[in-house]
Amino acid sequence: MGAEEASEDARELERLLAEDGRVEPTDRVPAAYRRALVRQMAQHAHSEIIGMQPEGAWIESAPSLRRKAILMAKVQDEAGHGLYLYAATETLGVEREELLAKLHAGEQKYSSIFNYPTLTWADVGAIGWLVDGAAIVNQVPLCRCSYGPYARAMVRICKEESFHQRQGFEILHTLARGTPAQRAMAQDAVDRFWWPSLMMFGPPDADSTHSARSMAWGIKRFSNDELRQRFIDMTVPQAEVLGLTLPDPELRWNSERGHYDHGPVDFAELARVVAGDGPCNAERLAHKVRAHEEGAWVREAAAAYAARHGHQGAA
Amino acid sequence: MTAWEDPLWEVFVRARRGLSHVHVGSVHAPDAELALRHARDVFTRRQEGVSLWVVPASAVTASRPEDRDAFFGPAADKTYRLPTFYDVPEGVEHL
Amino acid sequence: MTTTLVPGSARALLALGDDALLASQRLGWWISRAPVLEEDVALANIGLDLLGQARGLLARAGELEGRGRDEDALAFWRDAPDFRHVCLVERDQRDFGTTMVRLLLLATWQRELYARLAASSEPGLAAVAGKAVKEVAYHVDHARAWVLRLGDGTEESHLRVQRALDAEWPWVSELFDGSWLDPEVVAAGVLPWPDELRPTVLGEVAAVLARATLRLPDGLADGLAPEPGGRLRGRHGEHTDELPGLLARMQQVARAHPGATW
């Protein structure tokens, strides 16, 4: 593509964003906008899918049938949400299969949080409360992002996810009021998931490579640090209701700022986990690849059946 | 392992009787029968619908963004098609 | 809800509740492991339907039993010999073909059974069955769609699903076994004789298998499931050696905290 054409695309995008703030699939947009979108949506979709594993591992061991049903429905939602997001990337002409291949090859990322293990039942509660809580803070602004199919998928996802955080909070609330062992389990889970949840908002603004451009393009609406602060402000009072401690001695209300001050997030750890050196990176990816490979014969069978009986599938 | 290229199907849901089917997203499936079942499982888990359509994505013909002015611009200056175009004397009802 | 005072009713509901619970437990394994993402969602839906049935049936069984056991007491605090499900549902199913064949067998049987139980004299059972009959009709539809595609798909899928069918087949007879059932329960109109369901269920299964180009197992063409013979009988509390492992996984958290609420 010539430089002239590229700058014309950039002007067209500027015009669209200025006129109604929304871009739709067939609009003419710069390749860089498209690449940034695909990267962000794919990472988001992959996170939903890999995110099924840490909690999914507890479906078979949920301690009551009510909890088992809730968890099964929640992990199912994550599959659904991954699907909505892959469908949104398809509107940019990127096939799901292509994205899965990149995920499986380690060429595309998913959220670092899912590389931490779930060691006890209380972790299911901590994930719902903290991880889904952080995800919601990240996602709500995306309901107004500039790319129409992504924004619409996010509206649907946010609506469905409103129960995810509540069920996590409810698990921890019950444990915190349970036996001493249950209470200890809840505190331990919060201790382990608090800092990784803060890392979900990404590196500090000063080090965030794509932030400024993404903001201008309307595919990101608030900075990493703003969202992180919003999450902390929202979560501290909830921890008090739970009667659980957040593992940060520096956490205190700053009336001048109107926000909670907090201790430093270990971004070196975030970098390590993102680079593949987290506790469960290899395990998560291997699980996903194995499932995909072991399902190949099923997909091939369905394709062969359709080829033989017609794609209308009259059966 | 061979490549997997299930066609894409656009999904439309009727939320309740009396309303139109509305586009909600898409699913992959090798044929229409599975596409319909996948659409049911993925898009109606919370009682969102009473009827479903699946349409091969390849069957949709769309207008092009660059045709927007030629297609949709000419309607802009014909506001006499709208009831608010007309002055109605005060006191006239049921008009 | 009025309590039906037919002895043996509680045990009958327990058996059906255990069928649904164990089938759901095995399906739970699949979530995050299905061949396509859409199928993760589908299998979870089916698992949730079965879990809902299990909860309704176990809760009512507990009421009828009158020993103060609720659904969780029954699910998490019984040992293997006290479970009364058919062995069909307790075995591992990490192969998609096995999962779909087993679902076809179970759901076809459940649909026929629940359709009759909707008119059961036991009101709790009738209520669960009346709702569940629509759910299992969808399960039959789903299993049928996949068995057709696997049976009549590729050479490999045909071989695999045929092998799965041949392995599941010996476990089918137990669905029609009434040796565990108190005759009074049947006489009072709580449950039909299981054997009455045999012709319809096997006829429907045979039709799907034939359409899927699969070789019908011995006796199926004549509406006969294999004789129970020396097989283990889950309805009598005799299970395969796969059950203890399943229960250990299912019950581990609950049992580590006696008396806790969740």
pLDDT digits (tens, 9 = 90+) for B34-48: 999 999 999 999 989
- Chains contacting chain A through 3 or more C-beta pairs under 8 A: B, C
Which of A242-245's residues contact partners 24+ apart within 8 Å by CB, and which partners? A242/A169, A242/A172, A242/A173, A242/A176, A242/A186, A243/A176, A243/A177, A244/A172, A244/A176, A244/A186, A244/A187, A244/A190, A245/A187, A245/A190
Residue A7's pLDDT is what? 85
Domains of chain C, CATH where assigned? 9-256 (1.20.1260.10)
Q: Are A251 and A239 in contact (CB under 8 A)?
A: no
Residue A312's pLDDT is what? 67
Quick check: A60 and C72 CB within 8 A? no
Determine the Cα–Cα distance for residues C1 and A230; give it in Å rounded to an integer: 50
Quick check: B38 and C42 CB within 8 A? yes
The C-alpha of C42 sits at a distance from chain B's nearest C-alpha, in angstroms, of 6
Name the CATH superfamily, with its identifier, for domain B8-63.
Phenylacetic acid degradation B (3.10.20.520)
pLDDT, one tens digit per residue, over A32-62 is 999 999 999 999 999 999 999 999 999 999 9
Chain mean position to CA C113: 11
Give chain B positions within 8 Å (CB) of C45. 41, 45
Give chain C positions within 8 Å (CB) of A296. 35
Angle between helix C37-65 and helix C9-28 axes, rounded to 10 deg: 160
Chain mean position to CA A186: 23
Quickly list DSSP for A43-69. HHHHHHHHTHHHHHTTGGG-SSHHHHH
Higher pLDDT, A315 or C148: C148
Under DSSP, the state recorded for B12 is: E
Tell me what ipTM this predicted complex has: 0.96
A290 touching B (Cβ < 8 Å) = no
Residue in A61, A76, A296 nearest the CB of C41: A76
Strand A259-261 versus strand A252-254 pairing type: antiparallel
B38 touching C (Cβ < 8 Å) = yes
Give chain C positions within 8 Å (CB) of A82. 37
Determine the Cα–Cα distance for residues C56 and C133; give it in Å rounded to an integer: 14
pLDDT band at C219 (very low <50, low <70, confident <90, very high): confident
Query: Can you list the alpha helix ranges (DSSP code H) found in C66-154?
Result: 71-76, 96-117, 123-151
Residue in C38, C141, C149 nearest the CB of B38: C38
Query: How would you list the strands of the sheet with B21-28, edge to edge?
Result: B21-28, B8-14, B51-56
Residue B66's pLDDT is what? 81
C258 touching A (Cβ < 8 Å) = no
Chain A residue whose CA is closest to B55: A312
- Residue written as tokens 């609406």? A221
A298 touching B (Cβ < 8 Å) = no
pLDDT, one tens digit per residue, over C52-66 is 999 999 999 999 999
Quote the mean pLDDT of chain B. Answer: 89
Residues forming beta bridges with residue B11, ordered by sequence position: B25, B54
Residue B56's pLDDT is what? 94
Give chain C positions within 8 Å (CB) of B28. 36, 38
Buried b (16+ CB within 10 A) or exposed e, B11-50: bbbbbeeeeeeeebbbbbbbbbbbbbbbbbbbbbbeeebe
- Break chain B down into helix, strand, coil percent, rounded to 5: 35, 20, 45
Residue in A77, A84, A97 nearest the CB of B4: A97
- Residue written as tokens 């590229």? A6
The C-alpha of C39 sits at a distance from chain A's nearest C-alpha, in angstroms, of 9
Residue in B1, B30, B32 nearest the CB of A302: B30
Chain mean position to CA C156: 28
Torsions phi, psi for A27 (to 5 deg): -65, 150
Determine the Cα–Cα distance for residues B55 and B41; give it in Å rounded to an integer: 16
Quick check: B6 and C36 CB within 8 A? yes
pLDDT, one tens digit per residue, over C83-97 is 999 999 999 999 999
Give chain B positions within 8 Å (CB) of A314. 32-33
Quick check: A72 and C160 CB within 8 A? no
Q: What CA–CA distances, in Å, run from B18 to B10, B14, B44, B45?
A: 21, 9, 18, 21
Interface test with C, best of B27, B34, B36 (most C CBs within 10 A): B34
Q: Which of residues 40-59 of C touch A (CB under 8 A)?
A: 40-41, 44-45, 47-48, 51-52, 54-55, 58
Short-list A143, A160, A161, CA closest to A152: A143
Residue A26's pLDDT is what? 84
- Residue written as tokens 């090798």? B30
Determine the Cα–Cα distance for residues A59 and C48; give it in Å rounded to an integer: 11
B29 touching C (Cβ < 8 Å) = yes
pTM: 0.94
Where are chain B's structural domains?
8-63
Angle between helix A148-176 and helix A180-199 axes, rounded to 10 deg: 150
Below-70 pLDDT ranges, chain B: 1-4
Tokens for A100, please give them: 């899965």
Determine the Cα–Cα distance for residues A94 and A91; give it in Å rounded to an integer: 7
Below-50 pLDDT ranges, chain A: 314-315
End-to-end CA distance of chain B, in Å? 69
Left (φ > 0), alpha (ψ -120 to 50) or beta: where does C237 sit? left
